Amino acid sequence: MKTIKAAGKSKRAPKGMGRLYIRGKDRKEYPAGTPNVEGGAYWLAYLKPTGATDANGKPVKKKTRVSLKDADGNSITTKKEAEEAQKRIIHQYVATSKEEQLISLKAKIEEATEERVKAVEEANPPLAISEAWESYRDNPKADLTSNIDTLKGYIGYWKAFSEWLGERNPHAVYLRDVTDKDAETYSKHLRKQLARGTYNKQIRFLRSLFTVVAKDARIAENPFEGILTIDKEEERDSRRALSVEELRTILERAEGELATLLFLGTFLGLRLGDCCTLSWSECNLAKGLVFRKTNKAKKRVSVGIPAPLMELLLQTPASNRKGYIVPDFAGRYTYRNATGATTQRGSITDQVQKHLGTVCGIRLYKEGTGKTPEYLEKLKQWEQGGCKGKKPTYKRAVVEVGFHSLRHSYVSLQAATGTPQAVVQKLVGHGSPAMTEHYTHLEESTVLQAARSLDHRIIDADFEEVRTVSPWIREALGTATAHNWQDVINEVLGGA
């Protein structure tokens, strides 16, 4: 195909940047900078990495052509704007190439480390399941009772668990082979057979045993730490999702690292521990993604970084993006005293709750529980009366709002905007759809606000095409309620 050369000597683009050209109304190609091309708009031809490698280990690339668009979705017609768009597109693949090299190097280091650890463990193996009870019994930290019946009960608890584990996971030899999934499944097994009190005793015992022998067993995380007793599980069920107005207040009034921590929880849907220990190396700002192996479920999740969070993260200079994103909270969360106990995590929860309750004015506890004004008044009268008679009591405080409410809100907003359940399950690392359903609390105000939040331009990153949400889609979503949102989403998807 013949082309018209631009006037003057054109400057050649650096190697690997692709080729800019103008496509005219006649569908012919003209060199970048060619003046007066009727209906001319800029295009970019470049080699796009496929992610695969050839026999020599070199990246495989595919010839690609894209029409360049500005932020409003209009075709770019000036060379300056075209060159800026060219850099945006090409630089993301340059960054990816460097990232892949670092990932490969990291994998080699991890492999060498694993081999060294394996050699050390072969010489000095960790605590075996068959030896766990004796290790726990002889450990002074166990603080076992002298009551013979209680001791027999403990022995029975351990025998029942080890026999169950032997049938379910015969390959488990060492205590650290017990997974979070094993603990969760066993707790469900017990709940079908035992009364509440007996169930709680067994869970507390198993949690204690894994904590006490953790050093000898070389356990990083106690698999029973996340298993709640029945009383506490009822408290968890009381947690609610926050409204959009409450979320906005929480974020706007926070400062410093606390603001960053709350932004992470709100826009990524991760648990408190994952937000506190999230590192810059797990955030690919070029791709707009967070890659994380969750602390609790040990699942690898990848979550997109929404614009508000991206804007906040970019405020940190690139040279300072090392280590933890919120180092103060990370230090407190990972701190262990001389006995190995995590004694500073409570201070994080207290700081968050103070912000939610005192600073933002959100009610934290279920109505009628905790030290209510009515209880405090009765206590005051009792004290003024010389502490005569029965001291006033109050119902145990049931937490209704906390950091975990941000996770509830994230899942609920995703559901409200029509994100498929399987996708949400992957995003937050839930082990089952039932767990995702537990977090999906939909209110009309949440659904409507989420629908309005869709009123923005959607960019197709693969082809650099820009399209806007049609008015009929916004109108349909505006009619969604907590009862009909799924029907509305199906209507939108079916008609789009």
Q: Where are the chain's structural domains?
A: 19-95, 129-213, 244-369+407-459, 464-495
Instruction: Say which amino acid occupies 259.
Output: A
- Look-up: residue for tokens 């209704």? 400
The share of the chain scoring above pLDDT 70, in percent, equals 74
**17 vs 479: which has the higher pLDDT:** 17
What letter does residue 402 receive in the DSSP assignment?
Answer: S
Structure tokens at 240: 């609610």
For residues 35 and 8, is the Cβ–Cβ distance under 8 A?
A: no
Report residue 228 as tokens: 């709640």
In contact, 429 and 407? CB cutoff 8 Å: no
- pLDDT of 469 reads 45
Assess contact for 446 and 413: CB atoms under 8 A.
Answer: yes
Indicate the pLDDT class of residue 101, thresholds 50, 70 and 90.
Answer: low
| Segment 454-475 mean pLDDT | 38
**Where are the alpha helices (H) located in 277-326, listed in sequence order?**
307-313
Q: Which residues make beta-bridge pairs with 41? A: 23
Of 1.10.3450.40, 3.40.718.10, 3.20.20.140, 1.10.443.10, the CATH number of 244-369+407-459 is 1.10.443.10
- The pLDDT-based confidence of 403 (bands split at 50, 70, 90) is very high
406-420 pLDDT, tens digit each: 888 887 777 666 655
Report the predicted TM-score, pTM, of the whole model to 2 decimal places.
0.44
Predicted confidence (pLDDT) per residue in 80-89, tens digit:
999 999 888 8
pLDDT for 462 beyond 50: no
What does the alpha-carbon distance between residue 301 and residue 431 come to, in Å, rounded to a whole number?
Answer: 12
Do residues 268 and 276 touch, judged by C-beta distance below 8 A? no
With contact defined as beta carbons under 8 Å apart, do 174 and 125 qualify? Answer: yes
List the beta strands (DSSP E) in 115-273.
none
Give 159's pLDDT tier (boundaries 50, 70, 90). Answer: very high
3-state secondary structure of 174: strand
Q: Are strands 283-284 and 29-31 parallel, antiparallel or unpaired?
A: unpaired
Q: What is each CA distance from 127 to 174, 176, 361, in whole angstroms? A: 6, 8, 49
Lowest-confidence range among 196-200, 245-249, 320-324, 449-453? 449-453
Model confidence at 140, in pLDDT bands (50, 70, 90)? Answer: confident
| pLDDT the model gives residue 96 | 54
d(CA 88, CA 286): 10
Residue that is written with structure tokens 């031809």 in the block? 45
Residue 72: what pLDDT? 87
By C-alpha distance, which of 361, 336, 258, 287 is closest to 99?
A: 287
Q: How far apart are CA 398 and CA 279, in angstroms?
A: 33
pLDDT score for 274: 94
Question: Rounded mean pLDDT of the chain?
Answer: 78
- Stated as kind and residue range, the H or E segment containing 292 is strand 289-293
For residue 132, what is the enclosing H or E element?
Answer: helix 132-138
Quick: pLDDT tens for 310-341.
Answer: 889 999 998 899 999 999 999 999 998 887 77
pLDDT of residue 365: 85
pLDDT for 132 beyond 80: yes
Q: Which amino acid is at 340?
A: G
